[in-house]
Amino acid sequence: MGKITDKFGRPLQDLRISVIDRCNFRCTYCMPQEIFGRDFAFMPKEQLLSFEEIERLAAIFVDLGVKKIRLTGGEPLLRRDLPVLIHKLTNIKALEDIGLTTNGSLLTTMAQRLKDAGLKRINVSLDALDDSTFKEINHSNVGPDKILKGIDKAKEVGLEVKVNMVVKKGRNDKEILPMARYFKNRGITLRYIEFMDVGQTNGWNFNNVITKKEIFQMLSGEFELEPVDPAYIGEVAKRYRYRGEESEVGFITSVSESFCSTCTRARIAADGKMYTCLFSDSGFDFRELLRSEKTDEQIKSFIMAIWNSRDDRYSDERTEESAKNKKKIEMSYIGG
């Protein structure tokens, strides 16, 4: 059918699908322990989209122009038999790329199965190499060594690996340079993510943000960096290469240098709701449509109507006041 565009001419070409709302960490950035404690009521199984429903919906989106799909969570590796879903998605014609975002805690046992299912690349969330800092952020007894072993295993089996680090002032900013050194020496791309006001519970304010400019200045004191052209329209990360090497570092700058004007991404939550922005306050229920008698063409029409009327520009318009007052979906629910 070809590409569809929103009110600002942004095409729909990138789809994030959250396959589960649970996580085995209680990260202070997206699942604060005081909110998501041991007794928190996550979705019952019947509310989650089945693999067949995800496959059908993904195929419809691909027919509308989506080229890339990324599986998220929660922690997607907690979804039972996830490689079965990956294998199903790899068989969708015209889909060019499938990725997965994970906290890496299960990679040592899952990496080979993911690769065998057809997955080509993963993004691993890792916010510190220091053991005490890592455990403080994730409220778990799991240390960074386990995640690093998982990253090594993923590379060993042939998966492309990138590492994402959310930087929060006073929490893990001392880890900026150690992380750069570690992953530069291993030829792994590290991407620094500005601390964002996703959801209602992470206590965000501007004073906790370390901007791309500040991080870049810190790195420039030790490394020579040269800019890299975007690989495709709508690429989120601003990329740099260490001079004379293939290793890269990137920055995701939703706060200091917003990229709403080139956003081509839609999100499907684990229960089938579609969101047109990471900072949305409401979604569109596709689980009900999938479980009704609606045809693929009818569902396609719903997607087109939603995307054609999309006018999201939250990061362009963000103020500290709007960040406090606007209701937003939690990261653990909508995915990254």
Is 101 annotated to bind a ligand? Reply is: yes
Is 59 annotated to bind a ligand? Reply is: no
Amino acid at 280: S
**176 found inside a domain:** yes
Is 118 annotated to bind a ligand? Reply is: no
Is 79 annotated to bind a ligand? Reply is: no
**4 found inside a domain:** no
**312 found inside a domain:** yes
* Half-sphere exposure of residue 90: CA atoms within 13 angstroms, side-chain side: 16
**296 found inside a domain:** yes
Is 319 annotated to bind a ligand? Reply is: no
Number of domains in the chain: 1
Is 30 annotated to bind a ligand? Reply is: yes
Is 318 annotated to bind a ligand? Reply is: no
**5 found inside a domain:** no
Full pLDDT tens readout for the chain, 336 residues? 558 999 999 999 999 999 998 888 766 655 555 444 455 556 778 899 999 999 999 999 999 999 999 999 889 999 999 999 999 999 999 999 999 999 999 999 999 999 999 999 999 999 999 999 999 998 888 999 999 999 999 999 999 999 999 999 999 999 999 999 999 999 999 999 998 866 555 556 778 899 999 999 999 999 999 999 988 777 889 999 999 888 899 999 888 888 788 899 999 999 999 999 887 878 899 999 999 989 999 999 999 999 999 988 767 665 555 555 556 566 666 666
**289 found inside a domain:** yes
State how beta strands 97-102 and 121-125 pair: parallel
**124 found inside a domain:** yes
Is 5 annotated to bind a ligand? Reply is: no
Is 70 annotated to bind a ligand? Reply is: yes
Is 125 annotated to bind a ligand? Reply is: yes
Domain extent at residue 68: 14-334
CATH number at residue 283: 3.20.20.70
**1 found inside a domain:** no
Q: Rounded to the nearest 5°, which phi and psi values hold at 309?
A: -100, 5
Is 10 annotated to bind a ligand? Reply is: no
Is 331 annotated to bind a ligand? Reply is: no
Is 231 annotated to bind a ligand? Reply is: no
